[in-house]
Amino acid sequence: MSVVVTITSTINSSRVPSWMNNNGDSSPSLRETLASFSRRSSNISLLRNKKKKKKVCCGAKSTDDDYHATIKSLNSRGRFPRKSLGQHYMLNSDINDQLAAAAKVKEGDFVLEIGPGTGSLTNVLLNLGASVLAIDKDPHMVDLVRERFAGSDKFKVLHEDFVKSHIRSHMLSFLETRNLSHPDFALAKVVSNLPFNISTDVVKLLLPMGDIFSHVVLLLQDEAALRLVEPALRTSEYRPINILVNFYSEPEYNFRVPRENFFPRPKVDAAVVTFKLKHPRDYPDVSSTKSFFSLVNSAFNGKRKMLRKSLQHLSSSPEIEKALGVAGLPVTSRPEELTLGDFVKLHNDLKMSSSSLERTRAELGLLVVYLNKAEARDKICRAIQYGSKFVSDGQPGTAQNVDKSTSLARKVFRLFKFVNDLHALISPVPKGTPLPLALLGKSKNALLSTFLFLDQIVWLNRTGIYKNKERAELLGRISLFCWMGSSACTSLVELGELGRLSASIKKLEKEIGNKDKHQNEQYRAKLQRSNERSLALIKAGMDFVVAFGLLQLAPKKVTPRVTGAFGFASSLISCYQLLPSHPKSKTV
């Protein structure tokens, strides 16, 4: 049975919610729009699609966010929808109920809303017991919803352009601090009446986040929704975005929303689509998502071309024809004829047949990036210096000559390097850092900066520019004491940070359970930071021993050979820490 709504053109002020500012009448443009909306919306069917599988039952109807409230809210702020922001405000509270129902929002859920507008959908989500993070580019709408929901501890709004925001960082931060009562709540949801002009960008950003979101429910243009969910092979509507959607999710067209339900009225109808996101472990088996989507995009760039032509820059025609044959496809295949599974087979076969020369070139490229860092070259020279010290054991000869010459050469790499730690010294500490750790960190920066500055005076003396040898030797010893002190401070800082990380990891384990903890991105990230901190602690301890040996405070126990061994090991750790990471897979 269709749902019918009869609308009058008179605004009943008693139905306007108390959070709105009631000063002034509607501007003529808004009043005219409201009257027009009322006339053409009289006795309309909200759900024109008669297919039961594309209907969503309405939830409890809200009287606080009907069309009267939305128009009155905009008028009270003197706001008019901005075309540049793609703003079309929902005038029917039933649609908001159905959006929440499509996402199966329940108490305890964490929901991301993009473009909250006047907060009509936000109100529905909060009433269902969900916590809501809203993001809006319009500062006026941000102020409006912030004022409206000021009394709720389950609502937060950010003034950002969603397409340019670091949404993954935001979500991980909020989920980390949230007290989850059940592992099922670990994944958040997205429910949003999107500005139509950013819908494609939003879909591309959200769908690869199956480790953060379980469901993404969006209100899109009807034609765009149909193209995303029900594309037909061998048609112009079949595009790379369809491969992306099915790679990362299971899409479903829920129901159509007539254009009469929006202010201002768009030129097209809208539709609600649900994307049930796949967890990363359930993605199609490809060696690299970056190379996979690079292949897909390359294929569709020459849409009417056969794949053996459009993919020639990735592989030779014979190799492409062979891969097509292995995938059970004709050698004359075109991109619009291939399903997701076909592209996966084609990609994997081409990757297996890629030449070893290309892999070697990629590895050499990473090596060039590494060697182009002055810091990396310094650490390599440091390894040579202390390796020579270990071999010479303080005895005259070639090894000792290498030790001394390399030590002098390294001082050139460190020219003006003290500025780095000087900058860190005067920079604010990260928020939430305990005072003892903050003081130790600043002490480390001060001592290391002093060491590097005094070390340059030692270099000037060895080159003959600075003539006072006795003072230079004294400054050299002072600089080594500063280095030893900074190493001690670093060790204490790393110990403190490891303790904080350990407590955070234990808390997260209780929240998500031990069973799936290694599948949780937050857990893996914390574990990686813990390993990095542990390695830094070991290196700082070794550097303390090296400084102790160079100062000859216990020459019988910490011999030149011991100093060289610890210095060489510490240098190898430094070289490892500076290694460039392989590029992360990204979708295009």
First to last CA, the chain: 43
Structure tokens at 56: 């969503």
Per-residue pLDDT for 521 more than 70? yes
Interval 211-256: pLDDT, tens? 999 999 999 999 999 999 987 777 778 899 999 999 999 999 999 9
Peptide bond into 264 cis (omega under 30): yes
Q: Residue 560: inside a domain, yes or no?
A: yes
Return the minimum-mean-pLDDT range out of 3-17, 321-335, 409-423: 3-17
**DSSP 3-state helix, strand, coil percentages of the chain (rounded to 5)?**
60, 10, 35
Q: How much is the pLDDT for 82?
A: 66
Give the sheet arrangement for strand 249-257, strand by strand: 155-159, 131-136, 110-114, 188-193, 213-221, 270-277, 249-257
Q: How much is the pLDDT for 124?
A: 94
Per-residue pLDDT for 487 more than 50? yes
| pLDDT (mean) for 195-224 | 92
∠ CA(176), CA(179), CA(184), 5° rounding? 90
Q: Which of 344, 238, 354 is nearest to 286 (CA)?
A: 344
Task: Classify the C-alpha dihedral 258-261-265-271 as positive or negative.
Answer: negative
Res. 80 pLDDT band, cuts 50 70 90: low
Q: How much is the pLDDT for 257?
A: 93
Quick one: 225 and 327 in the same domain?
Answer: no
Res. 459 pLDDT band, cuts 50 70 90: confident
pLDDT, mean over the chain:
80
Quick one: 173 and 267 in the same domain?
Answer: yes
What's the Rg (C-alpha) of the chain?
32
Quick one: 270 and 297 in the same domain?
Answer: no
Quick one: 455 and 551 in the same domain?
Answer: yes
Res. 577 pLDDT band, cuts 50 70 90: confident
Annotated binding site: 88, 90, 115, 136, 161, 193
| pLDDT (mean) for 431-459 | 92
Res. 581 pLDDT band, cuts 50 70 90: low
Res. 374 pLDDT band, cuts 50 70 90: confident
Q: Residue 100: inside a domain, yes or no?
A: yes
Quick one: 269 and 293 in the same domain?
Answer: no
Q: Label residue 457 exposed, middle or buried (CB < 10 Å: 0-12, 13-18, 19+).
A: middle
Quick one: 300 and 272 in the same domain?
Answer: no
Task: Classify the C-alpha dihedral 540-545-546-547 as positive or negative.
Answer: positive
CA dist., res. 531 & res. 524, Å (int): 11
CA dist., res. 159 & res. 151, Å (int): 19
DSSP-assigned states of every residue in 68-90: HHHHHHHHHTT----GGGT--EE
Quick one: 559 and 418 in the same domain?
Answer: yes
Q: Are 159 and 139 in contact (CB under 8 A)?
A: yes
Q: Residue 582: inside a domain, yes or no?
A: no
Whole-Å CA distances, 454 to 38, 222, 457, 466, 483: 80, 69, 5, 12, 11
More confident residue, 26 or 131: 131
Quick one: 234 and 336 in the same domain?
Answer: no
Q: Residue 363: inside a domain, yes or no?
A: no
Q: How much is the pLDDT for 353?
A: 52
Per-residue pLDDT for 573 more than 90? yes
Res. 491 pLDDT band, cuts 50 70 90: very high
Quick one: 201 and 342 in the same domain?
Answer: no
Domain end, chosen from 282, 310, 332, is at: 282
Secondary structure (3-state) at 277: strand
State phi, psi for 58 to the nearest 5 degrees.
-75, 145
Q: What is the DSSP letter of 232?
A: -
| pLDDT (mean) for 126-140 | 92
Interval 9-46: pLDDT, tens? 333 333 334 333 433 333 334 444 444 444 443 333 33
Residue 172 belongs to domain spanning: 82-282
Domain end, chosen from 282, 302, 323, is at: 282
Beta bridge partners of 156: 133
Per-residue pLDDT for 584 more than 60? no
Quick one: 173 and 126 in the same domain?
Answer: yes
Annotated binding site for S-adenosyl-L-methionine: 88, 90, 115, 136, 161, 193
Q: Which of 271, 289, 279 is nearest to 340 (CA)?
A: 289
CA dist., res. 549 & res. 562, Å (int): 8
Return the minimum-mean-pLDDT range out of 173-187, 203-217, 286-300, 335-349: 173-187
CATH of the domain at 344: 1.10.8.100
% of the chain at pLDDT higher than 70: 78
Res. 539 pLDDT band, cuts 50 70 90: very high
Return the minimum-mean-pLDDT range out of 6-10, 161-165, 371-375: 6-10
Quick one: 471 and 570 in the same domain?
Answer: yes
CA dist., res. 191 & res. 189, Å (int): 7
Q: Are 192 and 115 in contact (CB under 8 A)?
A: yes
Beta bridge partners of 135: 114, 158
Whole-Å CA distances, 141 to 69, 92, 117: 15, 19, 6
Tokens 């500012």 correspond to 21
Tokens 């030893």 correspond to 484
Whole-Å CA distances, 21 to 18, 113, 375, 501: 8, 24, 60, 47
∠ CA(309), CA(310), CA(311), 5° rounding? 95
DSSP-assigned states of every residue in 444-457: HHHHHHHHHHHHHH
Q: How many domains does the chain have?
A: 3
Structure tokens at 37: 């909306």
Q: How much is the pLDDT for 58?
A: 34
Q: How much is the pLDDT for 166?
A: 87
Quick one: 178 and 258 in the same domain?
Answer: yes
Q: How much is the pLDDT for 586?
A: 39
Q: Residue 484: inside a domain, yes or no?
A: yes
Beta bridge partners of 518: none
Q: How much is the pLDDT for 77?
A: 61
Q: Residue 34: inside a domain, yes or no?
A: no
| pLDDT (mean) for 443-468 | 90
Per-residue pLDDT for 552 more than 50? yes
| pLDDT (mean) for 522-544 | 91
Q: How much is the pLDDT for 11?
A: 34
Res. 352 pLDDT band, cuts 50 70 90: low
Q: How much is the pLDDT for 170?
A: 85
| pLDDT (mean) for 542-548 | 95
More confident residue, 549 or 183: 549
Q: Residue 134: inside a domain, yes or no?
A: yes
Q: Are 381 and 406 in contact (CB under 8 A)?
A: yes
Q: Residue 361: inside a domain, yes or no?
A: no
Interval 145-170: pLDDT, tens? 999 999 999 999 999 999 988 888 88
* Residue spans of beta strands (DSSP E) within 525-572: none
Beta bridge partners of 4: 45
% of the chain at pLDDT higher than 90: 42
Domain end, chosen from 265, 282, 299, is at: 282
Q: Which of 301, 221, 224 is nearest to 258 (CA)?
A: 221
Res. 197 pLDDT band, cuts 50 70 90: confident
Q: Which of 389, 90, 116, 388 is nearest to 259 (CA)?
A: 90
CA dist., res. 551 & res. 540, Å (int): 17
